[in-house]
Chains A and B, each alone.
Chain A
């Protein structure tokens, strides 16, 4: 081995120093030293915790603007301050596990029923009984014993370029694997939880082997390797890169109401196809909330849950995030009205969590990146 300075200057040649320091160097140094001090002060101030009153601590996977609006409204009505920690559901669940009884969390919010089913199995949640919740939430889409409740519905559908795909040309998820769509299909990566839930429903409906063959067919039809989110698939489809794509409906709603005219034009070219209407129905996932096992503010959490399913908040969410409300009332959002009513697949819903565990493996085997 060489002596360290040589080693270093070889590997980090851009770090060569000039001999000695000039006046300017020293000035720069002084400036930086003073800045360091102020920066440290700012940092300290930033990491200090805020003060607390009557509160509700939420661990949430959702981070839409409309959620903040809903939380503000809740605070106005109840005086309960809402504090939200945002992260992906898996991370939040891991954190709940590691924090155990010390967890500050009162409420867990995810956008996937499967995650909720697994969190319940891991003993992280507690059951809540409430008339309001039982009345407002469809029995098929909630935990049978009240461990978690849905509050928005998210349909994963087929979208087609209206000028290139005739009505009725594609009707079911199963059709996406047919060779006629080779090079004409766009869908995001299999690492995404929406796709894993869709795959889970395929596994529950068709069985593992058929689901794998389906995924392989879909993968073979892709117009490009998976890249970007649902919105990108819609936009690329509208631009002509492909003719059909898989997306959640609310992304189309968001694009239709985008401040960017190009996005609005693109979204207008697409038509929504609710799949499997003659069979088991369209795959729907939910935004769901649950009181955490070791919650300190259980009563506040229950109030918040009931608030979420109230007609007022349901209407706010339907308008703000374009997700479907629990009542499936399509009059709350003009886009929903245009897309129309549809049948929800409730048969595969209860086994979503279980089947999700198989989904990733089957995706890998099918070559869906």
Chain B
């Protein structure tokens, strides 16, 4: 163990910096939420709270359930069966990850208009009450369907990893003992996959809680739009209290997932041999195709096709300069954010190796926390921090309305975890003895990191950077609230045009986003290739 000379303490403090930044909005929101929120909370926001919470819970429950119903059977099919097109489905089922929910919504808002004859028929056939009931339910059907079919790949990915690796040997054993595929699924695969399902489900639930674009497109008002509404009405204190309620819901969710996992660990054992796949008969092929297409159609193919058609039809009217500026903004922001996020992650991960103190593990965990912080909470927290800062003499330039500073800060907090995770995982596999050997041979901590550790985990850092880039690129909720005036990204442009019912025009920036996100999926598809 190398000794730690005293003059490295400032450097150690620097390692804490990214973690402190992540904690900033939580601290601000906690402080403000506990202060009296005034009349606005009592009279305006408190009466709405029940509705917000109820809608959030109903939405999360139904989206999560449907996402599992979409992801689990599809993962099972591509893992244990061999059928024509299996290899294509294996990666194609990830495609909806490149289709942000609010982009897919563009294609469906319009489609809901096409259902009017059906609604009219309901009114004529079953009367006004049935008609009103259908009207109340149908936005939910659309919102839940869109969110579930664009988020199910999280459930698919986690289940797929278990079926193909961990459950492989027990499943082979079950087969040899004469179990039918159904029995193998129910009695071997399902129990083993439970923690994975819970993990995937919690990701889906988190994304659902953070959604703003889809729910507002269909007029639903769960907590996230509720927070922004209170904020927009000028009731900052009340908005922060709502954000705190959302945070508590998310913590309950995380707690439930941990409880479900119990002592089991969800980590693939890399030594396990992958499962050998079974050839399907014609019925099996049909079943496999249906189960794979069932989520893929609404989550990618239908919205992609509709928007593609609009783009072609309105080709001559496309506002290329507007789209170009929005693209440059999106790419610039995502690149800058990815750069800062990667730097922050490297500081946290590498810092822990160089100054192996117990406190730094805590710093890294705090860095990971950002991913469970609700977007709405990050947004109001960052907005408060930035407007405080902008009021200091000489800092007026950072004001939310005038610069992207607040936006970058929010992205950093929200997505730091995305870059820490692969970096930390990779460094875990690089033995610390290499670092210590370099230090014993006289290298300083920074020199040892630069020559030994960082080059070894470079692919992981790059992966982290790409994932952060894509996450920022398709982010809507934070961007919509924190962007400077007159500053459109592809995401906000798509959302705005769709909100103005200008679907053909919204389809072009939407498709541009999908294309970039598709490119971002490439490293992901490489990761899931099991063999």
Contacts and interface: CB of A to CB of B under 8 A. Distances in A.
Interface in A1-45: 1-2, 4-21, 24-26, 28-29, 32, 36, 39-40, 42-43
Nearest to A241: B116
Interface string B421-461: 11011101100000000000000000000000000001110
Q: What is the predominant secondary structure among interface residues of chain B facing chain A?
A: helix
Contacts of B195: 10
* A contact residues, range: 35 or more
Given A42-B331, A227-B219, A228-B109, A364 B459 contact: no
A97 B252 CA distance: 39
A225 interface: yes
A229 B161 CA distance: 44
Interface stretch (B6-14, B242-250, B364-372): B364-372
B199 A13 contact: yes
Interface stretch (B58-66, B178-186, B228-236, B287-295): B228-236
Contacts of B459: 17, 20-21, 25-26, 29
Nearest to B387: A98
Contacts of B47: 364
Contacts of B526: 18, 24-25
- Which of B113, B196, B372, B390 has most chain A Cβ within 10 Å? B113
A78 interface: no
B332 A39 contact: yes
A2 B528 CA distance: 24
Contact of A227 (B218, B265, B364, B387): B218
Contacts of A95: 399, 401, 485
A235 B113 contact: yes
B501 A16 contact: no
Contacts of B518: none
Contacts of B136: 224-225
Interface residues of B, number: 93
B368 A17 contact: no
Contacts of B426: 17
Contacts of B88: none
A19 B229 CA distance: 46
Given A4-B424, A17-B527, A32-B465, A240 B458 contact: no
Contacts of B91: none
Nearest to A260: B504
A90 interface: yes
Given A17-B426, A46-B329, A191-B229, A12 B417 contact: yes
Given A32-B465, A240-B117, A364-B48, A90 B135 contact: no
Interface string A74-111: 00000000001111001110110011001000000000
Contacts of B501: 228-229, 231-232, 235
Interface stretch (B167-175, B266-274, B374-382): B266-274
Contacts of A6: 265, 267
A223 interface: yes
Contact of A32 (B331, B421, B462): B462
A5 B336 contact: no
Given A87-B401, A227-B219, A239 B523 contact: no
Nearest to A88: B232
A320 interface: no
B129 to A, nearest CB: 8
Given A36-B339, A223-B132, A225-B219, A28 B462 contact: yes
Contacts of B356: none
B272 to A, nearest CB: 14
A5 B203 CA distance: 17
A361 interface: yes
B316 to A, nearest CB: 10
Interface string B349-373: 0000000000001001100100110
Interface string B493-531: 000000111001000000000000000001110111000
Contacts of B528: 14
Nearest to B134: A224
B31 interface: no
B317 A224 contact: no
A69 to B, nearest CB: 15
A93 to B, nearest CB: 10
B266 A42 contact: no
Contact of B219 (A5, A182, A369): A369
A140 B485 CA distance: 33
A259 interface: yes
A137 B218 CA distance: 40
Contacts of B460: 17
A12 B371 contact: yes
A6 B421 CA distance: 10
Nearest to A21: B459
A13 B485 contact: no
A360 interface: yes
B44 A239 contact: no
Contacts of A191: 229
Given A29-B458, A85-B485, A189-B219, A15 B421 contact: yes
A122 to B, nearest CB: 12
Interface string B115-156: 011011001000010011001101100000000000000100
A366 interface: no
B462 A29 contact: yes
Contacts of B418: 12, 15
Contact of B368 (A7, A90, A361): A7
A98 B485 CA distance: 14
B157 interface: yes
B221 interface: yes
B251 interface: no
Contacts of B132: 183, 223-224
A236 interface: yes
Given A6-B267, A32-B462, A183 B527 contact: no
Interface in A238-284: 239-241, 259-260
A29 B462 CA distance: 6
Instruction: List the 3 shortest-distance A-B pairs measured between CB atoms, nearest first.
Output: A43-B332, A21-B459, A227-B219
Given A15-B527, A360-B44, 14 more contacts: A7-B368, A8-B420, A9-B421, A15-B418, A16-B268, A32-B466, A90-B234, A95-B401, A98-B401, A183-B132, A224-B138, A231-B501, A361-B43, A369-B219
20 contacts: A2-B265, A4-B368, A4-B424, A6-B265, A12-B421, A14-B157, A16-B527, A17-B460, A17-B463, A20-B459, A25-B462, A25-B526, A43-B335, A86-B486, A98-B387, A183-B128, A223-B132, A229-B501, A235-B501, A240-B116
Interface of B: 43-44, 47-48, 109, 113, 116-117, 119-120, 123, 128, 131-132, 135-136, 138-139, 154, 157-158, 161, 195-196, 199-200, 202-203, 218-219, 221, 229, 232-234, 261, 265-268, 270, 317, 328-329, 331-333, 335-336, 339, 361, 364-365, 368, 371-372, 387, 390-391, 396, 399, 401, 404, 417-418, 420-422, 424-426, 428-429, 458-460, 462-463, 465-467, 485-486, 499-501, 504, 522-524, 526-528
Interface of A: 1-2, 4-21, 24-26, 28-29, 32, 36, 39-40, 42-43, 46-47, 59, 84-87, 90-92, 94-95, 98-99, 102, 182-183, 189, 191, 223-229, 231-232, 235-236, 239-241, 259-260, 360-361, 364, 369
